[in-house]
Amino acid sequence: MKISILDWNTVSPDGDISPQKFSDFGELKIFQRTKPENVIENIADSEIVLCNKVLITGKVMKNCPQIKYIGLFATGYNNIDIKCAGERGITVCNAGSYSTDAVAQQVFSYILDYCNRVSDYDSAVKRGEWINSENFSYFPYRITELVGKTISIVGYGSIGRRVAEIADVFGMNVIVHTRTAPKNCKYRVTDLKTVVENADFLTFHCPLTQQTAKLVNGELLNRMKESAVLINTSRGGVVDETALAEALKSGKIKKAYLDVLETEPMSRDTPLKNIPNCVITPHTAWAGLETRQRLVKIVYENIDFWLRGSPQNVVIK
């Protein structure tokens, strides 16, 4: 069995995780990055192809008829031509739920950053403002408690559920909007209009589909409270970046925290660049060491189960 990993650098850019365990399954080739024009060449003799964001198009599959299995170092699979894979009998498996805890943690790092202003106060202390204060306690930046605040969650998969659980512990009011009615949900499930209008924190955990593309648009943003905070750790395409930039600049909403953008790496032309009340992290919610170790373990196990005839995490078979 011949195996190719097409973009290992996206999983372990500094070598903190080794890919060599995948050689348990056969002859392993590792490419740190693969340009679109080199995909066919790099997997020309591989039966198992592993990738994170490299495009595996219908053209690639037709020129590499030996491919039997595609494994993703990701939950999303929009970089794979699923229709063609199905027609050619190629099994495609993703790594669902590996980042649940990490992404939920990132969401609350944003929420706590907003509420407790730790970075702002650290900067103020370093500027000497506390030294020059007449009071023992110096708090020019407003601090906010989470108890009683409403968090509106759009999308109620594993990450959305974990965010709800954490919010519940903080004493927040949790309301949910999801396309599929969840079973045994202890929180209020309602329509999109209601969750948007009631949110103190509006957080998105939905996949990018035709229905969710640019879901965060001018109309939605106009329904939000001016004091509300928007959080997106799902997919960049869920947000109309021009509309969000206008809402932030005009004060229609208070602040936005984004871990994903429509174009990644970040485009120089994004309208969200350098907006003071827009915090952007470079798609890091999934990047903790433990999270990536869990990801690699799932991808390894996916191959093992497939070879045993009982594939798991199957996108298409």
pLDDT per residue as tens digits for the range 65-82 = 999 999 999 998 989 999
Query: Which residues does 15 contact at the CB level (< 8 Å), separation at least 6?
Result: none
The yes-or-no answer to whether 2-98+289-316 and 100-280 have a common fold is yes
Confidence of residue 120 (pLDDT cuts 50, 70, 90): very high
CATH architecture of 2-98+289-316: 3-Layer(aba) Sandwich (3.40)
Question: Could you tell me the sign of the dihedral formed by the alpha carbons of 222, 225, 226, 228, in that order?
Answer: negative
How far does Cα 121 stand from its chain's mean position? Answer: 29
Residue-wise DSSP of 245-314: HHHHHHTSSSEEEES--SSSSPPTT-TTTT-TTEEE--S-TT--HHHHHHHHHHHHHHHHHHHTT---SE
Q: Check: CB of residue 9 under 8 Å from CB of residue 33.
A: yes
For residues 223-241, average pLDDT = 97
pLDDT at position 316 is 80
User: pTM (2 decimals)?
Assistant: 0.93
Give the pLDDT of residue 76.
Answer: 87
Q: Choose the catalytic residue: 188, 246, 283, 301.
A: 283
Q: What is the mean pLDDT of the chain?
A: 97
Catalytic residue among 117, 162, 177, 235: 235
283 catalytic? Reply is yes
Our answer to whether residue 205 is catalytic in this structure is no
CB atoms within 10 A of CB 304: 14
Q: Which residues contact 136 (CB under 8 A, 6 or more apart)?
A: none
Using pLDDT thresholds of 50, 70 and 90, give the confidence band for residue 218. very high
Q: Is 150 helix (H, G, I), strand (E, B) or coil?
A: strand
Whether 162 is catalytic is no
**pLDDT-derived band of residue 216, with 50, 70 and 90 as boundaries?**
very high
Q: How far apart are CA 305 and CA 67, in angstroms?
A: 17
Domain range annotation of the chain: 2-98+289-316, 100-280
| High-pLDDT (> 70) share of the chain, % | 100
According to CATH, the topology of domain 100-280 is Rossmann fold (3.40.50)
Q: How far is the C-alpha of 3 from the C-alpha of 13, rounded, in Å?
A: 20
Task: Check whether 317 has a pLDDT greater than 80.
Answer: no
**How do residues 220-231 score in pLDDT, each as one tens digit?**
999 999 999 999
